[in-house]
Amino acid sequence: MNESTQVYGSSGPPVLLLPGGHVSCRGFYPGYPEALVADPGARVILHDRPGTGISSVPGTLADASEDLHALVDRLGLGPVVVVGQSLGGDVALHFARDFPDDVAGLVLLDPMPCGDAELARTIEGMHARTARAVRLPPVRWLLRRRMRTVIERAVENTGLTGPYADAARANADIDIRELSRALEGLAERAAGFDASDLRRAVPAAVVSADHEPGRIGDRARAVHARIAAALGVPVTRWSGTSHGLHLERPEQTIDVIRAVVRKSASRA
């Protein structure tokens, strides 16, 4: 192993966890590795791809599929069930398209808008503008203060406690400039992605947040519906959940992962 990769468990079907944004996978899925090792006896891989988390290796979003292919080859654990939240979902989808023989299953947790270039351009542009604004220390301070207020309210409203609350609060201190860099190329990737290129037979689950009606929410729902249809599965949506649904509904999310792992293992 190296600094950016951890493996839990000594045997069993391999599960690769991919975090959202540019952050480290360590702490992003609190309790998930231990729960999946215990049941269904999985071998769980945490990986910070180049340019993200604690990885000291430079890299971009465009390099993600090649990096994961090299990781699976190096570990000798493929094919893997890939779990990705947000940008991690985008990475998982492109990996499944680019290297289908490396992927035994997919669990997509409110993934970024693969296939909707307009929405991806909106998200990429919004973060780029914010990144430019926070070059000014007062703006950076105000944004962080605002983020902490919003997240504390969300923690209270959703009843998050313990490590799940800690993981949510960590989002208030992310470096928006690093996140913006991690999102560079998102619109171009979305424009070049066609869900029909995915291998339909792969066991999969698509979990979508309970997005509020509106331009972004409606388009996100539509993207998730197209991806789910291409994979031949329904969209799972839990009432009242937000983008951080893996923290708000950990037990249900883990059960979804377990179901995909079991289905993929039965086909091995």
Please name the residue that has the structure tokens 């997509």.
108
Amino acid at position 107, single letter = V
C-alpha angle 119/125/130, rounded to 5°? 130
Residue 164 has pLDDT above 70, yes or no: yes
Q: Strand, coil or helix: what is 117?
A: helix
Q: Is 131 exposed, middle or buried, given 0-12, 13-18 or 19+ CB atoms closer than 10 A? A: middle
Question: What are 209-218's pLDDT values in tens digits?
Answer: 998 777 778 8
Q: What is the mean pLDDT of the chain?
A: 89
Residue 138 has pLDDT above 90, yes or no: no
Separation CA 147–CA 66 (nearest Å): 34
Mean pLDDT computed over 61-70: 94
Separation CA 248–CA 234 (nearest Å): 21
Q: How many CB atoms lie within 10 A of CB 181?
A: 17
Task: Report which of residues 247 and 126 the model is more confident about.
Answer: 247
Residue 70 has pLDDT above 90, yes or no: yes
How far CA 217 is from CA of 42, 119, 193, in Å, comes to 34, 10, 20
User: Rounded to 5 degrees, what are φ and ψ at 83?
Assistant: -115, 125
Q: How many CB atoms lie within 10 A of CB 11?
A: 9
Separation CA 124–CA 171 (nearest Å): 18
Residue 134 confidence (pLDDT):
75
Residue 1 confidence (pLDDT):
59
User: Rounded to 5 degrees, what are φ and ψ at 156?
Assistant: -65, -45
Separation CA 255–CA 227 (nearest Å): 21
- Which CATH number does 5-116+193-267 carry? 3.40.50.1820
Question: Which residues are paired to 46 by β-bridges?
Answer: 6, 17
What is the pTM assigned to this prediction?
A: 0.91
Please spell the DSSP secondary structure of 134-168, one letter per residue: TTSHHHHHHHHHHHHHHHHHHHHHHT--HHHHHHH
Separation CA 205–CA 235 (nearest Å): 7
Mean pLDDT computed over 169-198: 82
Residue 196 confidence (pLDDT):
87
Question: Which residues are paired to 103 by β-bridges?
Answer: 80
**What's 211's DSSP letter?**
P
Q: How many CA atoms lie within 13 A of 138 on its CB side?
A: 0
Residue 180 confidence (pLDDT):
73
